[in-house]
Structures are given as C-alpha cells and as structure tokens.
Amino acid sequence: MISLQTIAKPSPIHFRPKKPFKRPPKTLTPIHSLLQYNRKPQLSGETPRVVVITSGKGGVGKTTTTANIGLSLARLGFSAVAIDADVGLRNLDLLLGLENRVNYTVVEVLNGDCRLDQALVRDKRWSNFELLCISKPRSKLPLGFGGKALIWLVEALKNREEGAPDFILIDCPAGIDAGFITAITPANEAVLVTTPDITSLRDADRVTGLLECDGIRDIKMIVNRVRTDMIKGEDMMSVLDVQEMLGLPLLGVIPEDTEVIRSTNRGYPLVLNKPPALAGLAFEQAAWRLVEQDSMKAVMMEEEPKKRGFFSFFGG
C-alpha cells in the first residue's frame, strides 16, 4: 500500500482538523457483506432527503454519480428527482439520454411561462425518476437567481399533488463560487465525489469545510476511478489513504471502468446495463447505503486484489 509520505502531501495547515480515523481491520467476509443487498433497504431520515453531489474539482464523476445513484434509487423503489444545477455546462440530461425531452426548465417555471410539472422530465425506463434542469444550455440565468430560488423549488417539489419525492439529488457545478453556493443551499446532506489523486483531494477537503460551514454535517464520500493494479504498484493512493486524509465516512468505491465512458456516450446509465458492469454494481451498492444512511465498514483489499477478485472491493 502507498504510504502517505510517498505522495506529495499538501501542508497539513491546508487541511481541516479531522476526527481521529481508525483503520478498519483488514479481514473481510465478502459473502456476508453482499448478502444484505438481497433485501430492500429501509429508508432512513425525513423525506424528501435533499442530497447535493459535489466535489470541488471538475471531471471527477459528479454527474455520473447523480445519474447512476438516481436511477438505482428508482430501481430500489424510491422516488427521486435529479436537479441539474450545473447551469452553464449542463450534461445530466445527456448522460440520462433525456436531452430531447427537456422542453422547459426552472427558468421558465420561475418566469411563469410553464408549470413545474411541465419542466419535470419523467424517465420512461423508471417512472419514479424525474429530471429537472435549471436552464437551457448556454442561456443566462435571471439576475438574482440563487439559493433562495432552489429552496423555493424544493418546497414546490414537496408540495406536489402526487406527494413529495423520497430523494432530491442536486448535481453541483465544479468550483466553489456562486453556482456551488446556490446548489448546496437547500441540501441537508452531501455526497462528496473524489478521485484518489492529490488535486482532487485538496479540492474535496476545501469543499468539505465549506459544506460544514453551511451547516451540512452529513457528508459521505465516493471514491471514483479506483484502479487496484495501480494501487498495488504504489502508483495510486489507496482508499484507506483517502479516508485518512479526508476523514469522511465512505459511501462507495467505484472502479475505473470503460463501461462508464461507453454508457455516457450512449445516454444509457450504467446501472441499467445487463449484465451489470463493475462500476454499475458499485453505484447500486452506494445507492443502497445512501438509503439506509449507512457507510462502508470495510474497504478494498489492496494487497491481493487479483486473488480475492472483484467482490473484495466492497464492504458491508
């Protein structure tokens, strides 16, 4: 495993003070860990659960996570609305293959040009999943659009005739400027997506501090694009190292998988693939844990990934 000293670690003063992190024991019982996924997860917490998917750095997998977790939640039987809050560079609709069905956006709803239900795009594959885009690509937002507008939107979703959704997922833009602040305002929990590299980690750490300042205490992380071969060759940080640096509970570990890129280009989210892809299974398990507000108790076995096979990726 890579020791932290072998990676150019930023000065500790740039990192938030962490709760002491206890490394989990290195023994796993994969069969027991996997059996629990045969039952339906029990929804915990008050609904709608408003979850922002964020990262700081761009291109680490926020939109991929939003699409796959959103559809996994729907497959598990929960209703979910995914809001694309990446205003200038929206692409959640593309990943979901719903780009041709977005006729209205939140901007038109706020202008009084359409009703909220006209802006919600219902997925034909899983009808308890809906997409909501903030604005048309390359269009400008109305002056003063901000966190209050999103709070209004969440309230409007709560008060719909068919009842409030179980989950509202907000796909956050990269960076920590106005778009980020707007996206996190209505959220009461966060999923922080990071890749195991130092630039992504530093941004994730900064974002965690900002989320905490905003009163969001329930923050779990997804470590994306993990490669066991590189970890084994000490060319990539291990998941445990990431956990040690960020001090956050782990919602999921997603392997680097070419199927993700294929599914992105086809507009067909990975979790719908048959047979399931590795990353798709990992996203499904992360969604499962999100429902129960659980986190991983064991992580990838880095020492012998080949011997133990793929299932040693996941803990209970």
Annotated binding site: 57-64
Which residues make up the interface to Mg ion (CB under 5 A)? 62-63
Angle between helices 278-292 and 258-266 (to 10 degrees): 80
Of the candidate residues 108, 244, 256, 294, the single one contacting ligand ADP (CB under 6 A) = 256
Binding string, residues 92-131; x marks residues near ligand ADP by CB under 6 A: ----------------------------------------
When asked if residue 175 is in the footprint of ligand ADP (CB under 6 A), the reply is no
When asked if residue 54 is in the footprint of ligand ADP (CB under 6 A), the reply is no
Of the candidate residues 33, 55, 105, 228, the single one contacting ligand ADP (CB under 6 A) = 55
Binding string, residues 176-215; x marks residues near ligand ADP by CB under 6 A: ----------------------------------------
Of the candidate residues 93, 166, 241, 257, the single one contacting ligand ADP (CB under 6 A) = 257
Residues of this chain that bind ligand ADP (CB under 6 A)? 55, 58-64, 174, 224-225, 254, 256-257, 260-261, 264, 279
